[in-house]
Copies of this chain bind each other. A is one copy, B any other.
Amino acid sequence: MAKDKKLVEAITSMDTDFAQWYTDVVKKAELIEYTSVKGCMAIKPAGYALWENIQHELDRRFKETGVENVYMPMFIPESLLQKEKDHVEGFAPEVAWVTHGGMNPLQERMCVRPTSETLFCDFYANEVQSYRDLPKVYNQWCSVVRWEKETRPFLRSREFLWQEGHTAHATEEEAQERTLQILHLYADFCEDFLAMPVIRGQKTEKEKFAGAKATYTIEALMHDGKALQSGTSHNFGDGFAKAFEIQYTDKENKLQYVHQTSWGVSTRLIGGIIMVHGDDSGLVLPPKVAPVQVMVIPIQQRKEGVLDKAREMKEALAKAGLRVKMDDTDKSPGWKFAEQEMRGIPVRVELGPKDIEAGKCILVRRDTREKLEVTLEEAPGKAAELMDIIQKDMFERAKAHLDGHITDVKSYPAFKDAVEHKPGFIRAMWCGEEACELKIKEDTTATSRCMPFEQEQISEVCVCCGKPAHKLVYWGKAY
């Protein structure tokens, strides 16, 4: 029992030490394990199943918009990485370099992809000749490597799983449309599927992607009031096309450069799920993304008929379309409850000899701990209903938390006070100068998260320098 016990020992309270709470949860909910490879983690079945559900749903949504999946090499020759000036400056300091193949040094070293713009551009340069070849709307699911100094499971690791979409279009307008289409697809996915509300907006020049003309972002708010950049979508204009000579002949037979976009989300989203919804008993999973939605836990399972009834219940729940498991191990019911809670399984069904005699069972919601006594016949339908209710309630609670943690400020003292005492987003006007972003970061560690699509003029001047300002910006400390 030593190992079972470890799983349900009390974890650090989130109010005491949020970072330690997070680490406790990812380990004790068995999402990841550290490995001998520094900065890289093993994603365990419970963690990978979350990623599979995210993948499956996102992939479906992508394909509805015409996305096709492909696979590019994981290596980038150094000369290829260097073709776009801003891009190489952004990524070269943090790539892993392959210098030998087998026993021999390579003629040219290659990095493991930190992102694949350069590979897709090189590919499109050959593939795209005529306007008939456009648009190209390709995506790949893969892992990428960035040599981070400090790492945290799911949030920042040297290798992580993601998808990266790379598109090429005939016109600037079409590229911009695709950039925003995907940003909204990401936002809707986070809100509908992960019950995670987000702010949609544009990154400042300072915060945009290396090589992009414009970067758009969705920013979520974690339980501790810090922001998590949860997905980005970039419009490259024709910058990469010029560096890689990606040209097509238009209908008038004139040579034109293509306009490109790229966009990605990663296993970071799992970190978001944990930090938006989790509590002091562990993970709390929104039903749509939960690999197991209902856990049937028999009570006094050795008594005659209990396991049979529990098995019947499991089958009835599966028939109702639910992802269900039964815990018939020899652990005590208390341990089983604690494990189910640690793992964030949305509903458990408790079923003992007395319940069976009365033709009833207990449904317990993970998110509110509310208990419902229902008849055995009602249970599957009620559990299915609960999935919708929990999903909706979880989103609404997260939305209320987000809305309740946005502070509007009009002066620099108020800004600094908010960073210190009011965890969450700060909304303040900004003049557009990078100098102010740098000063704010230095003074407070808060960064500009985004210029939201929904702009308002909440004051006339920049919160930092006092000059006239027309841009409303969300600021905050971030992961």
Tell me the A residues contacting B by CB distance below 8 Å. Answer: 2-3, 33, 35-37, 40-45, 48-49, 51-52, 68-77, 80, 93-103, 110, 112, 119, 122-123, 126-127, 129-130, 132-133, 138, 142-143, 145, 147, 158-159, 161
Contact = CB atoms under 8 A, between A and B. Distances in A.
Contact of A72 (B42, B72, B96): B42
A52 B97 CA distance: 30
Given A36-B80, A74-B143, A122-B35, A69 B49 contact: yes
Given A93-B102, A97-B98, A126 B3 contact: no
A102 B51 CA distance: 28
A40 B101 CA distance: 13
Contacts of A44: 70
A55 B138 CA distance: 19
Given A72-B35, A74-B159, A143-B142, A123 B3 contact: no
A98 B75 CA distance: 11
A83 B161 CA distance: 27
Nearest to A118: B36
A37 B76 contact: yes
A157 to B, nearest CB: 9
Summarize A's interface: helix, strand, loop or mixed: mixed
A211 to B, nearest CB: 18
Given A3-B133, A35-B122, A42 B99 contact: no
A122 B37 CA distance: 10
A3 B143 contact: no
Given A36-B77, A100-B97, A130 B68 contact: no
Given A40-B74, A48-B68, 12 more contacts: A2-B129, A33-B127, A35-B122, A42-B70, A43-B71, A45-B68, A51-B71, A95-B102, A97-B98, A98-B99, A98-B112, A101-B147
B102 A147 contact: yes
A77 B74 CA distance: 19
A163 to B, nearest CB: 13
A217 to B, nearest CB: 25
Nearest to A44: B70
A3 B130 contact: yes
A122 to B, nearest CB: 5
Contacts of A110: 37
A179 to B, nearest CB: 21
**Most chain B beta-carbon neighbours within 10 Å: one of A42, A95, A129:** A42
Nearest to A73: B40
Contacts of A40: 73-75
A159 B98 CA distance: 14
A3 B71 contact: no
Given A45-B138, A74-B145, A126-B33, A100 B96 contact: yes
Given A3-B133, A161-B71, A37 B77 contact: yes
A130 B6 CA distance: 14
A69 B112 CA distance: 24
Given A74-B143, A126-B33, A93 B98 contact: no
Given A3-B130, A3-B132, A35 B123 contact: yes
Contacts of A95: 102
A126 to B, nearest CB: 7
A277 to B, nearest CB: 22
A31 to B, nearest CB: 11
A371 B122 CA distance: 43
A96 B94 contact: no
Contacts of A94: 102
Given A69-B52, A71-B48, A98 B96 contact: yes
Contacts of A138: 45
A73 B42 contact: yes
A130 B2 CA distance: 10
12 contacts: A3-B132, A3-B133, A35-B122, A37-B77, A40-B73, A40-B74, A40-B75, A45-B70, A74-B159, A94-B102, A97-B101, A99-B100
